[in-house]
Amino acid sequence: MPAAVRTLKPVQNPPGELENLFRAHHDRVFRTAHRITGSAADAEDVLQTVFLRLVKSRENYDFADHPEAYLSRAAINASLDLMRSRNRSRSVGLEDADAGTMESTARSPEAQHADRELQLLIRQAVSRLGETAGEMFVLRYYEGYDNQEIAKLLGTSQMVVGVVLHRARTKLRKEIGHYLEKHHE
């Protein structure tokens, strides 16, 4: 067969480090972002942001020790940044509307709306916490890490984590308490 007619076999390049990271951890990043933002579309934006930042960065990251910890923190911070920067409209996305219709029919539409409103209020209140407090709160109450694990991830003491979480809960309780008093009198 002449050389010009032969077909070339594709060369199988081994996936790069970032591709391996993406394949191994994209579900975790998406779930973390979805819990914080409450929106699949926003979670996808956060997922893309986290990995694009790694691609654009000229630094070499060493993920050998704890890639889950780094990527979880990156997802939390990107999600909180998104929540802080976006003035979200009061409209309900399609995925939220579909989920709402699948809820128990025993609950009234008014109760379902109040629940969604409260969830949005909590997300917004968490996004107004300081960077460290927001990150610790999400790691503890959204991701399920205990105080000792959070201290290790963030390079601080368990005592600091406990104090920051206590202050964050107090602040959230105050903000949400005002809402509850106003709407459930």
Return d(Cα 66, Cα 5) in angstroms, integer: 49
Q: What is the DSSP string of 11-56?
A: P-PPPPHHHHHHHHHHHHHHHHHHHHH--HHHHHHHHHHHHHHHHH
- Region 150-158: mean pLDDT is 90
* Mean of pLDDT over the chain: 76
Give 13-46 pLDDT, tens digit per residue.
344 777 888 888 888 889 888 888 888 889 899 8
Give 60-109 pLDDT, tens digit per residue.
666 666 788 888 888 888 888 888 776 444 444 545 555 544 444 567 78
CA neighbor of 122 nearest in space, from 178, 184, 75, 182: 178
Both tokens of residue 92?
Answer: 């309900």
- Region 36-58: mean pLDDT is 85
The answer to whether the beta carbons of residues 164 and 136 sit under 8 Å apart is: yes
Residue whose structure tokens are 């990527």 = 71
Residue whose structure tokens are 């929106």 = 39
54: left (phi over 0), alpha (psi -120 to 50) or beta: alpha
Quote the pLDDT of residue 101: 47
Greater confidence (133 vs 119) lies with 133
Instruction: Give the number of other CB atoms < 10 A from CB of residue 74.
Output: 19
Return d(Cα 44, Cα 46) in angstroms, integer: 5
